[in-house]
Structure 1
């Protein structure tokens, strides 16, 4: 019925609703598969690179799954969700971004036939959840081995197996050494035996074009792209006393609504005297604690530079907050935002050397030879900006692998071996499950085989023959057999010393399976942004809109 001003009633049959839900599920699955297909060739040592061009004309060449997906623009909400899981994987563990997308796409593809046959999404989701729980139990049980974090050789082998699939594989020894040194520098032992390792905040990668990659190294301290404010200030100071400020060393300017009336000449002179007095007070507060070097996040006026120069103090201004935090950790100083609060205990004395150097056309400030730096800078050299950017992405992965191993020292075999082992465990357990849930549960086991299959495909091996042989090996010779990503032949990962951190695999499985479950639970997409000609938002009919 239509009442006065009433909206027309939407009457839909149950079949129409079901068809609409199925259509959306099919579209979501298709979007997930498309994203997975884009970066499937980026898995393994023989991975292909993608060349990405941004709207500004910049070019990125990489095989890092997260970097590729970050540059891609997509409209479909399910595809955006897939891109988001690569970002999550990167933020949580820093590695396995390609694997998680490939796995999530395959899990969605395996759910498609069940939906087409009329299975309810809830049944598939329940089976996927059970498979995830069993996979986690298997991974944390017999399939993983413990690592002694003090065994430097073993640690290096694990980081190498992460880097061998990337551009920096040729310089893996150097990259391993840099990553281990940097992570151990910023590692802090907490009460209760816990470690705090914040590599995002306290490990800075400084990229300098020129030189070769072999010239890259870790500084036991901090490096900034800054010069001293006055040309006559000291550029080299041994055992500097460092003060860190978060306040301007200049007279406070009046706001726009400030109104000053000057009647006679003496008034203007008086204002200048006040300004000079204020700046002198600021500088006297600093000079009282006898520093050699000050870093401030704000500006330094010409007058302040004059007073500081007379006192033999070098000043560096407009330092980033993040850089100031790193200097504080490196030399033991405290950042203050009022000069009158400065005390002796706030002065940093942990650095052995302050120096300004010119590299290429830029001046760089070095605070090095620190006694116990809990922050460091990695100086990356390379032929071009593209090479430096790719090297930085690879190095970030290596840093994350070392961090993961120090926080959770457990390993699983690489080269698709662990996926095959978990697949075998799930296949055996599927026989014990009664009812229709058995088939989606078994589908998770089959979906896990996509990792070894992709490795075989990317190096040109016969996929079916290789996978059949690998299944046979796992049934008879143990769970450490995998695929050599360079040749496609079967090798024992234990003998090859190719291992991966357990935390990376756990995160990848959890993220991939939970995302597949989330996308299967969606049966409608409602858009609140597009307008039809009448001005009302267009949408698929939902449960709420189907009111009588």
Structure 2
């Protein structure tokens, strides 16, 4: 600017600008009517589609925005993010992605005998274990010295009896689906198969905990006192083929509301990007449900806030006027960047936007599709108002923090032209 201004004056101007912006957003934001379920759902889909419009999967945003909204609406009122599982299966088209109203995870490593186990149960009872059901478990944990074959046979028999006692107690509990965090060996697999029970060992901690929350019960570290009260329950358990993978599905879970997205697609990197894109959309939909107010995106709200700050700056005198105008100019970076990303003439588009906003068209922003400007509220380019408030608040706090640092001291070791020997950091000896 060519003038010296004390940091406190700049901080004051920045904070005042933030308050003006927040007040304007509160005034302009459109409240959502949650009473009309159809209208509310349509609005959430539009918010999700807006979040996906700049991503790699923007061609399929209509398909995925519905899936994202379905996923979030399947959760309880707290909308816990960890109750939405996202699994990726390579192969197939993006549109083959499915949403499961329950828990789903990839079939774990299994031993011989697994093929004989049933793959579908209605009203399943699930034993969730943190127990190793293998013969080696007892052998590895002890050292025994024997001097004849009979003694050795007794040890082997005892080992088998311990394992069979565990398996018998699990069977007697009434469970027909057994999931364990630790391995389930071939003896146990065949034992369960003979009794029409399904088992899966080496289930990941995340999947086991989500099954626990959804189906109830408890994760057991011992088979003693195992009974119906500590078993999880679900209306339907089945194992199905998804692409080249086998998946276990738990549907109709009574306790917590949960869901799993199974994404299909080509390359692994593309599936990773799809997951990140959907995470953004899920967060936007959750935020919209929790905070029922939206504003137009595409640079519309930033242009309106910029105009509001310029108008306010003309009503005050002194250095603060220049600072508020500078902040107003900074807000125009958002629509300018959108123009640059799309390859448009940013100066031309911004001039058009300034003219429109000066005439009172508050929701006009960048129209990427037509290389022009448009009413982005009518075009359904929406964002939660709280996201804008949070972004502005965070930027303001960062600015004020940097400005309030009055002096920095350089470490002489990190400087090539440090002070001569015998001098400390900033202080003569």
TM-score under structure 2 length normalisation: 0.87
Pairwise CA RMSD: 3.0
Query: Match for residue 163 of structure 1?
Result: 52
Distance 1:296 1:349 in 2: 16
Contact 1:221–1:375, Cα closer than 8 Å, also in 2: yes
1:320 Cα deviation from its structure 2 partner: 0.8
1:452 Cα deviation from its structure 2 partner: 1.4
| SS state at 1:546 partner | coil
**Equivalent position to 2:149, from 265, 272, 279:** 265
Distance 1:488 1:520 in 2: 38
Contact 1:355–1:367, Cα closer than 8 Å, also in 2: no
Distance 1:249 1:472 in 2: 74
Distance 2:65 2:388 in 1: 20
Query: Match for residue 391 of structure 1?
Result: 274
Change (3 A) 1:307 1:493: same
Query: Match for residue 23 of structure 2?
Result: 137
Distance 2:167 2:386 in 1: 51
| SS state at 2:312 partner | helix
| SS state at 1:275 partner | helix
Contact 2:114–2:193, Cα closer than 8 Å, also in 1: no
Contact 1:175–1:398, Cα closer than 8 Å, also in 2: no
Query: Match for residue 91 of structure 2?
Result: 210
Is it true that 1:315 corresponds to 2:205 in the alignment? no
Contact 1:205–1:378, Cα closer than 8 Å, also in 2: yes
Is it true that 1:485 corresponds to 2:368 in the alignment? yes
Change (3 A) 1:447 1:350: same
TM-score under structure 1 length normalisation: 0.69
Contact 1:276–1:303, Cα closer than 8 Å, also in 2: no
Superposition map of 1:173-192 within 5 A: 173-186=62-75, 188=76
Is it true that 1:290 corresponds to 2:174 in the alignment? yes
Q: How many residues align?
A: 417
| SS state at 1:211 partner | coil
**Tell me, which stretches of 5 or more residues in structure 1 are unaligned?**
1-112, 189-194
Distance 2:88 2:126 in 1: 25
Query: Match for residue 546 of structure 1?
Result: 427
| SS state at 1:439 partner | helix
| SS state at 1:351 partner | strand
Superposition map of 1:44-83 within 5 A: none
| SS state at 2:104 partner | strand
CA deviation map 1:323-349 (0-9, x unaligned): 012222333343223322422122222
Distance 2:267 2:346 in 1: 38
Query: Match for residue 305 of structure 1?
Result: 189
**Equivalent position to 1:222, from 79, 88, 103:** 103
Distance 1:449 1:284 in 2: 71
Change (3 A) 1:422 1:275: same
Superposition map of 1:498-509 within 5 A: 498-509=381-392
Contact 1:330–1:351, Cα closer than 8 Å, also in 2: no
Is it true that 1:247 corresponds to 2:131 in the alignment? yes
Contact 1:330–1:376, Cα closer than 8 Å, also in 2: no
1:479 Cα deviation from its structure 2 partner: 1.2
Change (3 A) 1:117 1:315: same
1:474 Cα deviation from its structure 2 partner: 1.3
Change (3 A) 1:120 1:341: farther
Distance 1:165 1:519 in 2: 31
Contact 2:174–2:227, Cα closer than 8 Å, also in 1: no
Distance 2:304 2:68 in 1: 30
| SS state at 2:207 partner | helix
Is it true that 1:414 corresponds to 2:263 in the alignment? no
Contact 1:296–1:316, Cα closer than 8 Å, also in 2: yes
| SS state at 1:366 partner | strand
Query: Match for residue 80 of structure 2?
Result: 198
CA deviation map 1:357-410 (0-9, x unaligned): 3632x4332333556762211111123223322222221121111111111111
1:217 Cα deviation from its structure 2 partner: 1.5
Superposition map of 1:450-469 within 5 A: 450-469=333-352
**Equivalent position to 1:524, from 384, 408, 411:** 408
**Equivalent position to 1:471, from 345, 354, 366:** 354
| SS state at 2:88 partner | strand
Superposition map of 1:274-289 within 5 A: 274-289=158-173
Distance 1:373 1:352 in 2: 15
| SS state at 1:134 partner | helix
**Tell me, which stretches of 5 or more residues in structure 2 are unaligned?**
none
Distance 1:332 1:348 in 2: 5
Distance 1:351 1:531 in 2: 68
